[in-house]
Chains A and B, each alone.
Chain A
Amino acid sequence: MSGGVDSSVTAALYAEAGYDVVGITLQLYDDGAARGRSRACCAGQDIHDARRVASHLGIAHYVLDYEDRFRSEVIDDFADSYLRGETPIPCITCNQTVKFRDLLAAARDLDADALATGHYVRRVAGALGPEMHRAHDHERDQSYFLFATTKEQLAFLRFPLGDMAKSDVRRHAERLGLAVAEKPDSQDICFVPGGNYAAVIERLRPGTAEAGDIVDLAGNVVGRHAGIIHYTVGQRRGLGIAATEPLYVIAVDAASRRITVGPKAALLCDRVVLRNRHFIDRGAESRSAGDVTVRLRSTHPGAAAHLTLLENGAAEIRLAQPEPATACGQAAVCYRGDKLLGGGWIARMERTAELQQASAA
Chain B
Amino acid sequence: MSGSDRRTEAIYLDYNATAPVKPEVSEAIAEALSITGNPSSVHQFGRDARDAVETARDRVAAMIGARPEDIVFTAGGTEANNMALNGARRRRLVISAIEHPSILRAAESIADSTSRGNEKELEVLPVDSLGVVSLQALDQVLGENADDVLVSIMLANNETGVIQPVADIATLAHERGALVHCDAVQAPGRIAFDVAALGVDMLSLSAHKFGGPKGIGALFVAGAFDLEPLIVGGGQERSRRPGTENVAGIVGFGVAAQLAAEDLQRAPHVAAMRDRVEQNLSEIDPNVIIFGAGAERLPNTSCLTMPGVQSEMQVMGLDLAGVAVSAGSACSSGKVEPSHVLRALGLPDGETGCAIRISFGWASRDEEVDKLVRAWRAFYAGLSARFTSGVSQTSGSGTAVGR
Contacts and interface: CB of A to CB of B under 8 A. Distances in A.
A20 B322 CA distance: 14
A42 B395 contact: no
A102 interface: yes
A108 B395 CA distance: 9
A14 interface: no
Given A58-B3, A109-B386, A111-B382, A41 B332 contact: yes
Interface residues of A, number: 26
Contacts of B6: 60
Given A22-B320, A58-B4, A105-B394, A43 B332 contact: yes
A22 B320 CA distance: 9
Contacts of B394: 101-102, 105-106
Contacts of A27: 333, 335
Given A20-B2, A108-B386, A51 B317 contact: no
A63 B327 CA distance: 13
A59 B382 CA distance: 22
A61 B333 CA distance: 11
Contacts of A259: none
A150 to B, nearest CB: 12
A105 B309 CA distance: 12
A51 B335 CA distance: 12
Contacts of A101: 393-394
Contacts of A182: none
B319 interface: yes
| B interface residue count range (under 10 / 10 to 19 / 20 to 34 / 35 or more) | 20 to 34
Contact of B336 (A20, A65, A102, A110): A65
A47 interface: yes
B393 A59 contact: no
B313 A63 contact: no
**Which secondary structure characterizes the binding site on chain A?**
mixed
Contact of B319 (A43, A60, A68): A60
Interface in A34-70: 41-43, 47-48, 51, 58-65, 68
Interface in A266-322: none
Contacts of A65: 312, 335-337
Contacts of B335: 27, 42-43, 47, 63-65
B115 to A, nearest CB: 18
B1 interface: yes
Interface in B316-361: 316-317, 319-320, 331-337
A264 to B, nearest CB: 45
Interface of B: 1-4, 6, 312-313, 315-317, 319-320, 331-337, 382-383, 386, 391-396, 403
7 contacts: A41-B333, A58-B3, A59-B3, A62-B334, A68-B403, A109-B392, A110-B313
Task: Give 10 nearest A-B pairs by CB, closest first.
Answer: A43-B333, A63-B335, A63-B334, A58-B3, A27-B335, A65-B335, A105-B394, A106-B395, A102-B394, A105-B395
Given A22-B320, A105-B396, 13 more contacts: A20-B2, A42-B333, A58-B2, A59-B3, A60-B319, A62-B315, A63-B336, A65-B337, A68-B403, A102-B394, A105-B393, A105-B395, A108-B396
